[in-house]
Structure 1
């Protein structure tokens, strides 16, 4: 029986509150529109991930970008490590958390976590990010102490998280590495990796500032 919980941690895509680093190449409104598209793509993909529960862990208010099929809970805590830890504290059984910054994410990328026997010989899964962080974190036993206190938003965040897991004696497996959308340079590169019908790729292609980046 599949008892996996999929957690999506996200911010409400409001101008000036999300993707501020993208504003080197676009307006706050355009940056928020890209964030909204990335979040919508992520949530749509999440519906295709085999999971018993799907939970959006949200900072801010729900908008019309939210599809059916998700429970919504508010983020708790100040720092990102506290918010991630609180998200895991709210579930029992195996759980995997993803963010809103990888609209190229597909169900196949989480196949190692969702397959039969995924947790038989693995206690944690880490999907590393190109910038040194992580885009996915799966825990067989979602203990908040495995995340709380790990320094976030640093080039060594992923390595620090792995050290925490190994230090707890866990068996850790790696997922594919992905690129987050954080800077203007990331937009075109990620858009080129998105699936057909991606809102993020379609919007990036229409924005003059990004439409030529990442082309083959």
Structure 2
């Protein structure tokens, strides 16, 4: 059975460059601080899922941070990450191009892939393991977000149509992706929707910092 790599697509938590739609509510520094907290939580959950899998069925393997700017850039100085984290560079292009590059590379290396961001505190280790297990039976798995996007896309094969011509950061992303999957005649599973944190109204869904 192929292992499944968790690839976290993330920007360095720099003020004015991350969570910009939250700046009206939190300010640039506050939005960046929240981004840093969510990145840390996402990486911890990914390692929890992978570690739990190691004790039973090795369905989950490496955790990778696909970073913008590239690893080694001063923007990442001071960002603490778990031991054993793999790093990669997102590269150029829109979000779709960057996600496609990561998915293509991982799948070409013989692993399956779960692509996630850092915007969904509700995406827990159990959900990651469920998504990985779904790929034993289907070719793709999606965890939608309530705003019409998705917080996870899992794949065991690659096709560029899943990433091209998508209106990213809109309410049509998940539906458009499902249309593409239907056109490919791939089997896929849709898991229950989760809440992500993108705009000030979403802040009520943040878990307590304590």
TM-score range, shorter chain: 0.7 to 0.9
**C-alpha contact (below 8 Å) 2:67/2:87 kept by paired residues:** yes
Equivalence for 1:211: none
Equivalence for 1:26: 26
**C-alpha contact (below 8 Å) 1:110/1:175 kept by paired residues:** no
CA distance in 2, matches of 1:21, 1:104: 20
How far 1:166 sits from its partner (Å)?
1.3
**C-alpha contact (below 8 Å) 1:4/1:95 kept by paired residues:** yes
CA distance in 1, matches of 2:91, 2:182: 26
What runs of 5+ residues in structure 2 fail to find an aligned partner? 51-59
**C-alpha contact (below 8 Å) 1:10/1:39 kept by paired residues:** yes
1:137 maps onto 2:153 in alignment:
yes
CA RMSD, Structure 1 to Structure 2 (Å):
1.6
Q: What number of residue pairs does the alignment pair up?
A: 192
**C-alpha contact (below 8 Å) 1:128/1:178 kept by paired residues:** yes
Equivalence for 1:53: 62
Equivalence for 1:89: 104
Say which structure is richer in helix: 2
How far 1:144 sits from its partner (Å)?
3.7
2:198 is paired with a residue whose SS is coil
1:122 maps onto 2:138 in alignment:
yes
How far 1:103 sits from its partner (Å)?
2.0
Equivalence for 1:196: none
1:6 is paired with a residue whose SS is strand
CA distance in 2, matches of 1:67, 1:120: 28
TM-score, normalised with respect to structure 2: 0.85
How far 1:49 sits from its partner (Å)?
1.6
**C-alpha contact (below 8 Å) 2:161/2:180 kept by paired residues:** no
> Given the alignment, which residue of 101, 121, 131 partners 1:103?
121
How far 1:113 sits from its partner (Å)?
2.3
**C-alpha contact (below 8 Å) 1:94/1:139 kept by paired residues:** yes
